[in-house]
């Protein structure tokens, strides 16, 4: 038996099975080394000692070689498996469909953010409003021609006898006319003033409704942002400053505001305002504003008094504005039709996804 050749053969065994076969071939019950051992009895004592030592060395060398090769083969098998099972991170993954904010929400957040920076608080009010807050208290009694400027969804509660609209203190303000889907956010001026004492500055983002024939520039539902600032010495200059700041917030340092006189029953004087869009060199008509009409302060104080609260608005002045949110988006993005906003067509909405 050639021990060198045997060790080399073991070192090159290609598989665990062939290695096992070699183990049997050399060290098995009828293996070559075992057979050699059996011949020892026929030798002289010296020869036996010498050959026995050599055979034991062979046996040890073979066992060591078998073990080493086995470890090697197992390691190779493991590496091969790891390679096969590894994750190929260069493969494209699964795309999870992700939602996004509606274009109206994004514009609203942008607007509200600009006012927050100037210390305004953000408050919201009910969409189903009483005739009193939506109209009467802001100087639009039912005989007033200005009511005709806003076509209204009137809501009846015929089948909900217990239904009421609550005022700022939980009192029933449903009133004679029942309820309306608010035609603007200006009713919140009254709700907020009744509950708070000046000075304060607030913005009111909200959804409003008008009973209109819809077309490219009219929807029956849209959004407004209302602003109200009241204090002891608030002037028209503060209003101009705030709207100018809004213009800069929206259109950069070159943004500016323009006022033109107009009429709203709840402000005096009243203006419509536009903002200068430097990029397009255009004025954008965005809303109405003005100094809070004294009628509103009186209506609020009378209401407070009925609730047992002290009058708080004598000697105060303030300004308010209201602007259309979709309108800003339409002009800024050149959207041709306001009805696209609420048709839930993804091909439209995705273009403005945040």
Interaction between residue 152 and ligand PHE (CB under 6 A):
no
Count of C-beta atoms within a 10 Å radius of residue 272: 17
For 353, the 3-state DSSP assignment is coil
**Which of 106, 326, 124, 100 is CA-nearest to residue 210?**
326
* Closer residue to ligand PHE, CB minimum distance, 146 or 312: 146
* Closer residue to ligand PHE, CB minimum distance, 58 or 209: 209
CB of 332 to ligand PHE, least distance (A): 20
Instruction: Say which residues have a Cβ less than 8 Å from residue 212's Cβ, sequence separation at least 6.
Output: 151, 218, 219, 220
Give burial (CB, 10 Å; 0-12/13-18/19+) of 336.
Answer: exposed
CB of 281 to ligand PHE, least distance (A): 26
Please identify, among the stretches 2-10, 100-108, 157-165, 282-290, the one whose residues bind ligand PHE according to the rule CB under 6 A: 282-290
CB of 226 to ligand PHE, least distance (A): 6
Interaction between residue 289 and ligand PHE (CB under 6 A):
yes
CB 65 within 8 A of CB 7: yes
* Closer residue to ligand PHE, CB minimum distance, 36 or 212: 212
* Closer residue to ligand PHE, CB minimum distance, 266 or 276: 266
User: CA-to-CA distance for 17 and 12, rounded, in angstroms?
Assistant: 13
Interaction between residue 184 and ligand PHE (CB under 6 A):
yes
For 306, the 3-state DSSP assignment is helix
* Binding track, positions 242-271, relative to ligand PHE; x by CB under 6 A: ----------------------x--x----
Residue 77's alpha-carbon distances to 64, 65, 73, in angstroms, are 20, 18, 6
Residues 295-334 touching ligand PHE, rule: CB under 6 A, are 320-322
Interaction between residue 206 and ligand PHE (CB under 6 A):
no
CB 338 within 8 A of CB 217: yes
Alpha-carbon torsion (189, 178, 175, 160), positive or negative: negative
Q: Report the residue from 290, 291, 301, 341 that binds ligand PHE according to the rule CB under 6 A.
A: 290
Q: Is 153 left (phi over 0), alpha (psi -120 to 50) or beta?
A: beta
Number of amino acids touching ligand PHE (CB under 6 A): 12
Omega prior to 313 cis, within 30 of 0: no
The residue with its CB nearest to ligand PHE is 322
Please identify, among the stretches 28-36, 50-58, 273-281, 287-295, the one whose residues bind ligand PHE according to the rule CB under 6 A: 287-295
Interaction between residue 288 and ligand PHE (CB under 6 A):
yes
Give the binding site for ligand PHE (CB under 6 A). 184, 186, 226, 264, 267, 287-290, 320-322
């Amino acid at each position: 038996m050639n021990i060198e050749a045997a060790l080399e053969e073991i070192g090159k065994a290609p598989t665990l099975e062939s290695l096992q076969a070699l183990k049997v071939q050399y060290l098995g019950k009828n293996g070559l080394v075992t057979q050699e051992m059996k011949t020892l009895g026929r030798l002289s004592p010296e020869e036996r000692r010498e050959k026995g030592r050599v055979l034991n060395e062979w046996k040890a060398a073979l066992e060591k070689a078998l073990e080493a090769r086995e470890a090697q083969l197992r390691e190779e098998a493991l590496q091969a498996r790891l390679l096969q099972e590894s994750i190929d991170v260069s493969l494209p993954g699964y795309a999870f469909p992700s939602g996004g904010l509606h274009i109206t929400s994004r514009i609203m957040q942008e607007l509200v953010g600009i006012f927050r920076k100037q210390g305004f608080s953000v408050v919201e009010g009910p969409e189903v409003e009483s005739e009193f807050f939506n109209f009467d208290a802001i100087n639009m009694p039912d005989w007033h021609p200005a009511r005709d400027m806003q076509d209204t969804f009137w809501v009846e509660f015929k089948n909900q006898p217990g239904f009421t609209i609550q005022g700022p203190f939980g009192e029933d303000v449903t009133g004679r006319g029942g309820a309306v889907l608010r035609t603007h956010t200006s009713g919140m001026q009254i709700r907020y003033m009744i509950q708070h004492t000046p000075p304060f500055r607030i913005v009111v983002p909200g959804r409003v409704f008008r009973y209109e024939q819809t077309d490219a520039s009219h929807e029956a539902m849209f959004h407004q942002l209302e602003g109200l600032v009241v204090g002891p010495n608030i002037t028209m200059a503060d209003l101009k400053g705030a709207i100018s700041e809004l213009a800069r917030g929206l259109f950069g340092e070159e943004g500016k505001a323009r006022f033109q006189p107009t009429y709203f029953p709840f402000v005096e004087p009243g203006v419509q305002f536009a903002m200068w869009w430097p990029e397009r060199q255009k004025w954008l008509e965005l809303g109405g504003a003005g100094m809070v009409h004294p009628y509103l302060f009186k209506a609020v104080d009378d209401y407070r008094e009925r609730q047992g609260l002290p009058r708080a608005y004598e000697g105060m002045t303030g300004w308010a504005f209201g602007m259309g949110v979709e309108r800003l988006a339409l002009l800024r993005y050149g959207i041709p039709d306001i009805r696209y906003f609420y048709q839930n067509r993804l091909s439209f909405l995705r273009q403005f996804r945040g």
